[in-house]
Structure 1
Amino acid sequence: MALSDEKIDVELEEHATEPRGVITPEEIQARFERLRDLSTEEMDALNKRVVKIIDWRLMPCITLMFLMSYLDRINVSNARLAGLQSDLHMDDTVWNTGISAFYIGYLFGQLPGNMLLAKVSSPRWFLPTVMLAWSVCTICMPAMTTGAGFIVCRFLVGLTEAPFFPGITLITSSWYTKEENPMRMAVWHAGNTISNILSGFLAAGILTMKGTLGLHSWQWFFIIEGAASIAIALSAYFVLPDWPQNTRFLTKQEREMAQYRVLVSNGGKEEVVGGTWDGLKDAAKDPFTWFFCLMHFALDTAQSFKDFLPSIMKTFHFNELTTYLVQAPLYAVAYAAACMLAWSSGRNQESTWHIIVPIVASAVGCSVLISTLNVGARYFGLALLILGTYNGLNLQLSWETTVVPAPRSKKAALIAIANCVSQTSHWFSPYFFPTSQEPFYRLGGGLILVGCLITVVSALLVRWRAAKLNRRLDEVEGWSQHCGNERGWRYVY
């Protein structure tokens, strides 16, 4: 897998920010008319003010939006327990085809959606419109009467939802520095853990609505969640920011600070948009893209249990209400752990072991889950399984946008390609969790363990490549631990 010196040199010219020298924050500050005369204390105060504004405008908005997108994705698992599969007379094959259809639509919409977002000047129009589209599809699902209708509806929901996840990854990395990125992505990525917590409580409440207005409980799942999602999408048109250089609620000086912060984090490399096809070609030629594709695919494979968690929990032989409610603590623990690990990763600028150690814990948890019927041990195994896989996906997203910070079109392509490849795991993973595998689901457990193993391998591959490029940058700059020179931008690993 070794690359020639000549090829490494070419890649450094494409990847590294300033391979022929170090660009200092002072030199970057001098590029901005309204910043160049500010003192260090004034710059620090302005920076804190901008971060506070963005934290309060961007993070709550995209966290709520992502919460609803994930709730929309997992609501079918709760609807299944509420009778959706039996009412539509679907066997396991038709059901699993419907689950897979969502991810087929998701695959088709990923790359074009994110490449379009990288080009548009107003994410605050693009992302809420995407959300409105999938919410309308969801609220129409109570009209389903056959398995074929279920498959078509899930395909359309996946197609319309596809650009959203890579889109909010892109916009977050465009506003925050490499030190801030892991924690901020953990905050909004917590939308999926919070949605799983809320899902259990919502399911418990909605079960009591059976027969209300002549509708089944599963129909109320889609009506209530679809309506809430539409309301949040409409609100996002007024709250969500655009890009740092053109967002409307910052002053000109604050917009310059927003751009300065990211430039310093990128080592001076401008986050220019770049040509759509150029960005796609550059991403396709970069080994980082394919290493992160492998990692994202592995993490999604390791998370394949999530669409079947209520069914797995049913094998614990709790009553229906308890089955929903006991899911909440698992995700609460996973969220707390993900935030702590993200903070540590950003502070220490280290990603490899922050991913590997928790994913090994997930493998241990999965092994416990498929090897015993002891309820306490299995519940603890589920806690480990959820913790490691959710943490890994969060850190993988921030890692890939840190090692490829610019141009925006290339970063957008990398995010979308990795997400596209990862979704192919959903084409086959549902077939590893048939009801005939109860209570251990060992076939699915084996798939999860393979995903954990591949995650470890892919993280080590990214680390190997980043370290190799860093050594070459050291040579180019003539830097060593004993030279006393300032070290420039380096790849995080």
Structure 2
Amino acid sequence: MTSVRTPRGTSVAPGDEQYTPATRSASTKALKRLLPFLLLMYVIAFIDRTNIGFAEESLEVHAGLSTAAYAFGAGLFFIGYAVFEVPSNLIMHKVGARWWMARIMITWGIIASLFMFTTGPTMFYILRFLLGVAEAGFFPGVILYLTYWFPRRRRAQATALFYMGLPVANILGGPLSGGLMELDGFLGLWGFQWMFLIEGLIAVAVGVIAFFYLTDRPRNARWLTEEERTELQATLDAESAQKEEARPLTWWRALLNGRILYFCFVYFTIQLSVYGLTFFLPQQIAGIAGRDVGLVVGLLFTIPWVVGLAANFFSGRFADRTGRYRDVATVLLIVSGVGLLMTGLFTQPVVVMLGLCLAAVGFCSAQPIFWNIPTSYLSGAALASSIGLINGVGNLGGFVAPNLRVWVVSTFGTEAAGLLMLATMPFLGALFLAGTRLLDRRKPAPTA
């Protein structure tokens, strides 16, 4: 990263020169202490949310689920998730991250484990809905939590590091879920039962640890010096006051704000393509490899996400350095669209895998940079409610995507049609994200 020199000769990254040395030191310590644990939580959340992709065939055989029932149940998670996003985030804003994040993880871990008892479509539907209710507020809660700890010109990097949980979850979750699926018959349980049980209990254990490990605000951090606590909190309070002065909104008025509703639509298009691919990716890779879903497919599953992880590491830093969050995210969405087009237009395994890698690059890198744009407009309870709304509405794409993909495939009789339909979504998201410039011209807002 290019650096500049302060009058005292200290090397400072571009954008950081506006912060005091104590603020920079405090946010660096927060990055090292909080982000690894938040990333771990996200990894576990994403594994428990998407591991049904590895159990799809087993659930059809042992629980009597059809492909349509599987797709419908997979999407039901996002209905419960969306309905409870805003209230969950408002509660966290009131009671603090320690209590609320611990509650979320423990309850979703218990419900994730109960999937081992799935005996038919109805039970599958109920558990998927309840899993969404339990996990509601986790992701927007973390996005809100990062605004409590990182000034704006350091937040994209922090968000990008958190978002590394998505590729890491797929890198680790693929072999883990695939390996657990091969425990078929051990102690009289099917492989999918072992997978749901073990991965759910991991979430419960980490939820208990979260209560003791997380710190609500910089002012409460004993692991910072007094000067660091004071300076970082003052910087964050000043940024919050500036946003409040520019756009004073109550939490419920923020939910009706046109700009926020516009961001909901942008995020919805992104999630349509992400989950339309993710829920069916293990079976797609199994088809390419000519093997049943298991450890080998789980290992192949990691390839696109390793590439996405590498891209994610650099993209957040680049966005913070240039301050061009919108432009960087737009380009990355276009890259995703190109990758999905390749998976739909070509059948050669190498070309398809390259397309999946490009899609993962965009998915993993565009989303954390995107969040730096809406969070620059609001503060306090209005910020908490708007993040919950954007994430909740956006994640309805996780309900629509698998069902829309199944409908398109059944209508046109080919998997390629489903992939080509998904490929239009990142391009649409890029178009509308670029269109936020028009919103800024209509009404003054912080540069994004």
The alignment's TM-score, normalised by the length of structure 1, stands at 0.81
- Alpha-carbon distance in 2 for matches of 1:130, 1:491: 33
* 1:302 match: 273
* 1:107 match: 82
Q: CA deviation at 1:78?
A: 1.0
Out of 312, 324, 328, the residue aligned to residue 354 of structure 1 is: 328
- Alpha-carbon distance in 2 for matches of 1:342, 1:409: 26
* 1:483 match: none
- Alpha-carbon distance in 1 for matches of 2:128, 2:198: 17
Q: Does 1:492 align with 2:447?
A: yes
Q: Does 1:131 align with 2:81?
A: no
- Alpha-carbon distance in 2 for matches of 1:446, 1:311: 17
Q: CA deviation at 1:254?
A: 3.0
Greater than 6 Å deviation, 4+ residue runs: none
* 2:258 match: 287
Q: Mean alpha-carbon deviation: is it higher for 395-404 or for 340-349? A: 395-404
Residue deviations 1:371-399 (CA, integer Å, cap 9, x gap): 12111111111111121123222211122
- Alpha-carbon distance in 2 for matches of 1:318, 1:264: 58
- Alpha-carbon distance in 2 for matches of 1:118, 1:365: 38
Out of 369, 374, 387, the residue aligned to residue 361 of structure 2 is: 387
Q: Give the AA of the match of 2:286.
A: K
CA 1:51–1:150 in structure 2 vs 1: closer, same or farther (change >3 Å)?
A: same
CA 1:411–1:145 in structure 2 vs 1: closer, same or farther (change >3 Å)?
A: same
| Contact 1:105–1:155 (CA under 8 A) maintained in structure 2 | yes
Q: Give the AA of the match of 1:203.
A: S
Name stretches of at least 5 consecutive residues in structure 2 with no aligned partner: 1-16
| Contact 2:54–2:178 (CA under 8 A) maintained in structure 1 | no
Q: Give the AA of the match of 2:382.
A: K
| Contact 2:273–2:401 (CA under 8 A) maintained in structure 1 | no
Matches within 5 A, 1:260-279: 260-265=234-239, 268=242, 278-279=250-251
Note the aligned Cα RMSD (angstroms): 2.4
| Contact 1:131–1:233 (CA under 8 A) maintained in structure 2 | yes
Q: CA deviation at 1:454?
A: 2.1
Between structure 1 and structure 2, the one with the greater Rg is: 1
Q: Give the AA of the match of 1:232.
A: V
Q: Give the AA of the match of 1:107.
A: A
* 1:339 match: 313
Q: CA deviation at 1:266?
A: 5.0
Q: CA deviation at 1:60?
A: 1.4
| Contact 1:292–1:396 (CA under 8 A) maintained in structure 2 | no
| Contact 2:272–2:400 (CA under 8 A) maintained in structure 1 | no
Q: CA deviation at 1:108?
A: 1.7
| Contact 2:75–2:403 (CA under 8 A) maintained in structure 1 | no
* 1:71 match: 47
Matches within 5 A, 1:75-474: 75-81=51-57, 83-120=58-95, 122-247=96-221, 249-265=223-239, 268=242, 278-281=250-253, 283-303=254-274, 304-320=276-292, 321-404=295-378, 406=379, 408-434=380-406, 441-470=415-444
Q: CA deviation at 1:280?
A: 1.9
- Alpha-carbon distance in 2 for matches of 1:144, 1:267: 50
* 1:19 match: none
Q: Mean alpha-carbon deviation: is it higher for 410-419 or for 92-101? A: 92-101
| Contact 1:67–1:194 (CA under 8 A) maintained in structure 2 | yes
Residue deviations 1:156-176 (CA, integer Å, cap 9, x gap): 111100111100000012210
Q: CA deviation at 1:438?
A: 10
Q: Give the AA of the match of 2:215.
A: P
- Alpha-carbon distance in 2 for matches of 1:362, 1:230: 34
Residue deviations 1:172-192 (CA, integer Å, cap 9, x gap): 122101111111111111111
| Contact 1:469–1:491 (CA under 8 A) maintained in structure 2 | no
Q: CA deviation at 1:128?
A: 1.0
CA 1:467–1:344 in structure 2 vs 1: closer, same or farther (change >3 Å)?
A: farther
Q: Mean alpha-carbon deviation: is it higher for 319-328 or for 68-77? A: 319-328
CA 1:180–1:61 in structure 2 vs 1: closer, same or farther (change >3 Å)?
A: same
Q: Give the AA of the match of 2:73.
A: G
| Contact 1:115–1:409 (CA under 8 A) maintained in structure 2 | yes
Q: CA deviation at 1:440?
A: 5.5
Q: CA deviation at 1:101?
A: 1.4
Q: Give the AA of the match of 2:390.
A: A
| Contact 1:432–1:443 (CA under 8 A) maintained in structure 2 | no
Q: How many residue pairs get matched?
A: 424
- Alpha-carbon distance in 2 for matches of 1:119, 1:147: 38
* 2:11 match: none
Q: Give the AA of the match of 2:38.
A: I
Q: Secondary structure at the match of 1:175?
A: coil
CA 1:95–1:414 in structure 2 vs 1: closer, same or farther (change >3 Å)?
A: same
* 1:480 match: none
- Alpha-carbon distance in 2 for matches of 1:177, 1:98: 39
* 2:5 match: none
Q: CA deviation at 1:245?
A: 3.5
- Alpha-carbon distance in 2 for matches of 1:322, 1:437: 32
| Contact 1:308–1:433 (CA under 8 A) maintained in structure 2 | no
Q: Give the AA of the match of 1:234.
A: V
Name stretches of at least 5 consecutive residues in structure 1 with no aligned partner: 1-40, 471-489
CA 1:398–1:139 in structure 2 vs 1: closer, same or farther (change >3 Å)?
A: same
- Alpha-carbon distance in 2 for matches of 1:107, 1:270: 26
| Contact 2:243–2:376 (CA under 8 A) maintained in structure 1 | no
CA 1:259–1:467 in structure 2 vs 1: closer, same or farther (change >3 Å)?
A: farther
- Alpha-carbon distance in 2 for matches of 1:492, 1:68: 34
Residue deviations 1:109-152 (CA, integer Å, cap 9, x gap): 111101111222x2111111111110011112212212211111
* 2:27 match: 51
| Contact 1:132–1:233 (CA under 8 A) maintained in structure 2 | yes
- Alpha-carbon distance in 1 for matches of 2:447, 2:243: 16
| Contact 2:326–2:373 (CA under 8 A) maintained in structure 1 | no
- Alpha-carbon distance in 2 for matches of 1:212, 1:152: 27
CA 1:437–1:211 in structure 2 vs 1: closer, same or farther (change >3 Å)?
A: farther
Q: Does 1:62 align with 2:33?
A: no
- Alpha-carbon distance in 1 for matches of 2:313, 2:377: 21
| Contact 1:305–1:444 (CA under 8 A) maintained in structure 2 | no
